Amino acid sequence: MIKIRGLNKRYGDFDALKGIDLDVARGEFLVVLGPSGAGKSTLLRCINRLAEPTSGEVHIDGQLAQPSGASLRALRRQVAMIFQHYNVVPRLSVQKNVLTGRMGSLPSLLSWLQFFPRKDVDIARECLRRVELQDKAELRTDTLSGGQKQRVGIARALAQQPKVILADEPVASLDPKTSRTVLNYLKQASRELGITVVCNLHQIDYAREFGERIVGVSGGRIVYDGGPEGLTDEVLRKIYPGLDECDSHSRSSTAATAIPAPALRPLELEEAGA
């Protein structure tokens, strides 16, 4: 479903992604694990062209992703995104937020008028049912908790009826119990609807629990690609080069382990006066 070849992304003189090759199968739930600054978000953003790759190719369902035009619009319809900070419109109702996932499929006038045909309302309702928020459909979204807002984010992504969902640290702002609930909804939707999910995570424990396949990214390169059972201490040291300096308890604890060790680039070090 996703085929990436020789993907490089350079910001100024900094290489954020260095020669990424990756294939993700239809319906696969892939977790991308890595420390802060590793290049996880950049990878997702190059897949849906929110960031323009410096070189390399991304194919979605056999189609080469193009930087603009009709082909870009088609790509964006097929690839939905879920964000760390939910990106919901607070003053809109829950259902209206989910319906925004249908906008790419509507004629532009209807979309501009925010007029949604019955069929689209039914799709939105069904997506809300999947994340068990059907009872909240008419509420303003800013009355929901963080976990519920993220479930709205999932429902909106599902309403788009995409082939691929890119989830950029979808549980980074949530407590462990809520995080597991949200990841369960996402995984269940992927399994039942055959959607390919690429989910960026900081937390090793969630990656082990939810990732069928885990790609470890460090310094803009893939340093691990395999199952959760392969996440040995040696592999984790490759993904998180500073891991030995961290509290060793945190790796084996049952609580979710987040290691957002910042990988500062030279410019930032200079700015920090180092």
Ligand X SMILES: Nc1ncnc2c1ncn2[C@@H]1O[C@H](COP(=O)(O)OP(=O)(O)OP(=O)(O)O)[C@@H](O)[C@H]1O
The only residue of 1, 20, 34, 130 in contact with ligand X, by rule CB under 6 A: 34
Crossing angle of helices 146-159 and 176-193, rounded to 10°? 10
Q: CB of 16: closest distance to ligand X in angstroms? A: 4
How many residues comprise the chain?
Answer: 274
Is residue 170 a contact residue for ligand X (CB under 6 A)? no
Q: CB of 260: closest distance to ligand X in angstroms? A: 6
Q: CB of 17: closest distance to ligand X in angstroms? A: 8
- Distance from C-alpha of 60 to C-alpha of 5, rounded to nearest angstrom: 12
Point out which span in 38-46, 89-97, 177-185, 204-212 binds ligand X (CB under 6 A).
38-46
3-state DSSP call for residue 33? strand
Site track for ligand X across 39-58, x = CB under 6 A:
xxxx----------------
Calculate the alpha carbon distances from 109 to 78, 98, 103, 265 in Å: 21, 19, 10, 45
Q: Which is nearer to ligand X, 77 or 265 (CB)?
A: 265
Strand (E) or helix (H) holding 225: strand 221-226
Point out which span in 32-40, 59-67, 120-128, 237-245 binds ligand X (CB under 6 A).
32-40
Is residue 125 a contact residue for ligand X (CB under 6 A)? no
Crossing angle of helices 146-159 and 118-130, rounded to 10°? 130
Is residue 203 a contact residue for ligand X (CB under 6 A)? no
Q: CB of 158: closest distance to ligand X in angstroms? A: 23
Q: Which is nearer to ligand X, 44 or 157 (CB)?
A: 44
Task: Tell me if 53 sits within 8 A of 141, measured CB to CB.
Answer: no
Is residue 16 a contact residue for ligand X (CB under 6 A)? yes
CA atoms within 13 A on the CB side of 121: 8
> By the criterion CB under 6 A, which residues form the site for ligand X?
11, 16, 34, 36-42, 265
